[in-house]
Amino acid sequence: MSVDLAFDENELLPAIAQDTHSGDVLMLAYVTREALERSRETNEAHYYSRSRDELWHKGGSSGHVQRIEEIRIDCDGDAILYLVEQEGGACHTGYESCFYRTLDGEIVGDRVFDPDDVYE
């Protein structure tokens, strides 16, 4: 990689996923260097699951993978942007984007699948 990356004290970088078709911001998660390398090798978005403490291939079990069109880095090298084509929906709640609510709690996103059908 020709751009210096500023991983934090936990060896993580925040990573935003944006849908290239709709332009919607889908989610924010975190990557390790390994997750980023796996994303580049496979062209499917990988993250690091802080709750499960392991490498996370997004959609690996649900089928809701994110095919990567481009990976960008910000000016300070401390945040990543995945431009992706999202299969199904990004959010485990069934919404296309994890940002489906306003801060006041109003639902503004679209539900694209029923989580009961996807997760066992």
Task: Point out which residues bind a copy of itself (CB under 8 A).
Answer: 1-3, 14, 16, 18, 23, 25, 27-28, 36, 40, 70-76, 79-81, 91-93, 95, 98-105, 108
Decide: 114 and 91 in contact? Cβ < 8 Å.
Answer: no
Instruction: Classify 2 as helix, strand or coil.
Output: coil
Q: Can you tell me the distance from the alpha carbon of 8 to that of 80, in angstroms, rounded to the nearest whole number? A: 13
Cα gap 30→68, rounded to integer Å: 16
Q: Which is nearer to a copy of itself, 77 or 87 (CB)?
A: 77
Taking the complex as a whole, the smallest distance from the CB of residue 40 to a copy of itself amounts, in Å, to 7
CB of 1 to a copy of itself, least distance (A): 6
Q: Which of residues 1 and 63 has its CB atom nearest to a copy of itself in the complex?
A: 1
For residue 63, what is the DSSP state?
S
Nearest distance, CB of residue 22 and a copy of itself, angstroms: 8
- 54/30 Cα distance (integer angstroms): 11
Which residue, 65 or 71, is less far from a copy of itself as judged by CB? 71
Q: To the nearest whole angstrom, how small is the minimum distance from the Cβ of residue 120 to a copy of itself? A: 19
Do 98 and 31 form a contact (C-beta atoms < 8 A)?
Answer: no
